[in-house]
Amino acid sequence: MSRKVKWLENAVFYEIYPQSFKDTDGDGIGNICGITEKLPYIKELGCNALWLNPCFDSPFGDAGYDVSDYYKVAPRYGTNDDIVRLFEEAHSLDMHVLLDLVPGHTSWKHPWFLESMKAEKNEYTDRYIWTDSIWESPEGYGSLRGISDRDGSCLVNFFTHQPALNYGFFKPDRPWQQAMDSEGALASRKAMKDVMAYWLSKGCDGFRVDMAGSLVKNDEESKGTIALWQDIRNFLDESFPEAVLVSEWGEPDKSIEGGFHMDFLLHFGPSHYNDLFRCEKPFFGGEGDASEFVARYMDSYTKAVGRGFLCIPSGNHDMDRLSRTISGDKAKMAFAFLLSMPGAPFIYYGDEIGMRYVEDLISVEGGYGRTGSRSPMQWDDSVNAGFSDADAERLYIPQDPDPNRPNVKAMMQDEGSLLNEVRKLIAVRRANNALNNAGGIEFISDGAAGKPLVYYRSGDEGEKIMVALNPGCEDVKLEFSEKPGEVIYCLGGEPLFSDGQCMIRRESAFFVKLTAAEVKP
């Protein structure tokens, strides 16, 4: 890790999709004041850090990931003063806030891009990536063509309305491809440093960085992108040394070398993350196989350990809801896994109450198939589940129509609810040094078909805890060379210890403290 930030060692994050969390002004869209109002709930849950999805001004063609002004909170969410108050209130509760930074592209309505489209050369001509001729499209990328008097095609990163900012090409191979040290590429880099400095000076604690590994083009080994982020980290270390960076990259050997504190385990690519939660037969559904996940995880963990954190989310705004494939006690077991692994856990709003994926919704603001995972938070059994006083047809996204949809109020009152299980698990995590974010891990059983997932967690105070998760329908025996100690967490029935053996009951989980015990699967 480029610079250790103490609070990260015990951070448990709560991801908030601002437009769907809490509406306090009756327009059907969540806002910053609503987030501030619900800070005590998040604190009581056990989370002490927030990740806010983009809240900057935007035409919202991609739910805010198409920024039109990096320095202004979108008016539908409130004002810059509102978010400064959120920072202050969070800090008063010993909580921290990360904003979502989108450095790779802007909206096509951003003033920078409107200037870049002009035929006459100006300060922003090279802020984006343009070919020299309208007849040439950037190979391997989508592009905007024929939209202005400027000759050339402009590279886009994702949707058509998201032109890519120019950070240079690691290996330019066309006349229009600028080097990383070109004037335009360096201007983009400085502009993003200025944005980061502005919000850090307002009280933000850092950033989750969207598509962090994609900035420099023609960079197959990411050497240029790593160097770019190292430069940004050096800038932050000089002026904002406590600023936290979390990357959407999925390659911790690269992101952490670039100066990020944490990297996400992504749901796409080779991570096998979906083997656990989101596939036809997920491991935590009781019939799956976690072994390929374990192999890939340990490869990534080994590259990150001692330098930064590899984080596993319950879900996010781009995934199906966890409850679409896992519910009931199986969801509790999934959280027992998420909240006993190294790295900072991330809980997507509503996952803690088992909010459902809302099927067959028309796309809202570029959500498409993701829209069903972005429905309004369900706080209670009042109008619109306590999310908003607006008429139902004005809600940002329609709510789960099931009259028995889960809500916070009901689950708070139910001792056996998923919400209270999550609270319990976070409390156990905090109370045991070996379970904190920086603790070590060693897998004893890799969760191959028919086997449990079993691993040691170890702390810097000599503490060792065994975590055993058996979502399958058969009891499984483990052999111990010594009798284990205190069981600190149990789900689905107490484990049976006798004659150097442990019987892990089917559909059960437990955490047990160890002394010098050795375990054989």
For the chain, domains (ranges, CATH) are 14-93+265-297+309-430 (3.20.20.80), 105-164 (3.90.400.10), 440-520 (2.60.40.1180)
Q: What is the pLDDT of residue 516?
A: 55
Query: Helices marked H in 202-344 — which ranges?
Result: 223-239, 252-255, 274-277, 291-304, 328-338
> In percent, how much of the chain has pLDDT > 90?
89
**Beta strand 244-247 with 262-264: parallel, antiparallel or unpaired?**
parallel
Q: Give the model confidence (pLDDT) of 53-65 as tens digits.
A: 999 999 999 999 9
CA nearest to 374, candidates 358, 386, 353, 352: 358
Q: Which two tokens stand for residue 260?
A: 């990020």
Least confident of 295-304, 330-339, 491-500: 491-500
Q: How confident is the model at residue 478 (pLDDT cuts 50, 70, 90)?
A: confident
pLDDT at 364: 98
Give per-residue pLDDT as tens, 230-286: 999 999 999 999 999 999 999 999 999 999 999 998 877 788 999 999 999 999 999
Has residue 1 got a pLDDT over 50?
no
What's the per-residue H, E or C state across 208-239? EECCHHHCCECCCCCHHHHHHHHHHHHHHHHH
How many Cβ atoms sit within 10 Å of the Cβ of residue 141? Answer: 14
Asked if 56 and 70 touch (Cβ cutoff 8 Å), the reply is yes
pLDDT of residue 518: 53
Q: pLDDT value at position 503?
A: 87
Closest CA to 45 of 389, 460, 346, 252: 346
Q: Averaged over 349-374, what is the pLDDT?
A: 98
Phi, psi (deg, nearest 5) at residue 335 = -70, -30
Quick one: average pLDDT of 429-455? Answer: 95
- Return mean pLDDT, the chain: 95
> DSSP secondary-structure letter at 105?
B
How far apart, in Å, do the first and last CA atoms of the chain sit? 34
- Cα(506)–Cα(474) distance, rounded to whole angstroms? 5
2 pLDDT tier (thresholds 50, 70, 90): very low
Which residue matches tokens 């989750």? 208
Q: Report the distance separating Cα 130 and Cα 153, nearest Å.
A: 5
CB 517 within 8 A of CB 482: yes
How would residue 484 be classed by pLDDT, with cut points 50, 70 and 90?
Answer: confident
Report helix, strand or coil for 68.
Answer: coil
Q: What is the pLDDT of residues 29-55, one digit of tens each?
A: 999 999 999 999 999 999 999 999 999
Asked if 170 contacts 180 with a C-beta cutoff of 8 angstroms, the reply is: yes
Whole-model pTM: value is: 0.96
Model pLDDT, residue 485: 86
Q: How many angstroms separate the CA atoms of 201 and 196, rounded?
A: 8
Which residues, including other chains, have CB under 8 Å from residue 2's CB and lie 6 or more apart?
233, 237, 256, 259, 260, 261
In this prediction, residue 500 has a pLDDT band, given cuts at 50, 70 and 90, of confident
Write down how long the chain is.
521
From the CB of residue 52, how many other CB atoms can be counted at a distance below 10 Å?
Answer: 23
Q: pLDDT category, 483, cuts 50, 70, 90?
A: low
Task: Give pLDDT tens digits for 7-32.
Answer: 999 999 999 999 999 999 999 999 99
Q: Looking at the predicted structure, is the pLDDT value of residue 207 above 80?
A: yes
Does residue 472 register a pLDDT over 60? yes
More confidently predicted of 195 and 4: 195
Q: Quick check: 331 pLDDT over 70?
A: yes
**437: closest CA among 454, 462, 457?**
457
pLDDT > 50? residue 376 = yes
Helix, strand, coil shares of the chain, percent, nearest 5, are 30, 20, 50
